[in-house]
């Protein structure tokens, strides 16, 4: 898939299946898996996916890519057994629907592994 510095990003079956499920739910904020490798170089920030250590999302990371046109994309990862950042979810960050999305992530803080 791609690398950023020493971090290798891969898409596994969980991520692919999750995207299929979300598209079946008519989630229109999704983008194609094929776009991920083009978006990875635009990652500017990373955050914890949740702030409660008891929640399964706590160990996940949300990577925010900021494209040249100002559009933002969110890519969620978790470490896999090989130590790679396994992409488990991805979507656009619509400014109008979720205007406080980035602020909420900032409140969650940065993950220990970035």
What pLDDT, on a 0 to 100 scale, did the predictor assign at position 112? 66
Reported confidence tier of residue 113, pLDDT bands at 50, 70, 90: low
Question: pLDDT digit string (tens) for 10-62?
Answer: 998 888 888 888 877 877 778 888 999 999 999 999 998 888 888 888 889 99
Question: pLDDT digit string (tens) for 71-104?
Answer: 999 999 999 999 999 999 999 997 777 778 888 8
Helix extents (H) in 1-114 = 13-24, 36-39, 101-108
Answer for the pair 52, 59: CB distance below 8 angstroms, yes or no. no
Written as six digits, the tokens of 80 are 């896999």
């Amino acid at each position: 898939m791609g690398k950023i510095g020493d971090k290798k990003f891969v898409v596994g079956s969980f991520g692919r299946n999750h995207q299929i499920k979300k598209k079946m739910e008519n989630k229109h904020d999704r983008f194609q898996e094929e776009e991920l490798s083009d978006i990875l170089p635009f990652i500017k920030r990373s955050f914890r996916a949740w702030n409660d250590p008891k929640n399964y999302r706590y160990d996940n990371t949300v990577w925010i890519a900021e494209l040249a046109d100002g559009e933002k994309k969110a890519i969620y990862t978790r470490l896999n057994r090989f130590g790679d950042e396994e992409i488990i979810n991805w979507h656009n960050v619509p400014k109008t629907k979720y205007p406080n999305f980035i602020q909420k992530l900032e409140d969650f803080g940065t993950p220990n592994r970035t």
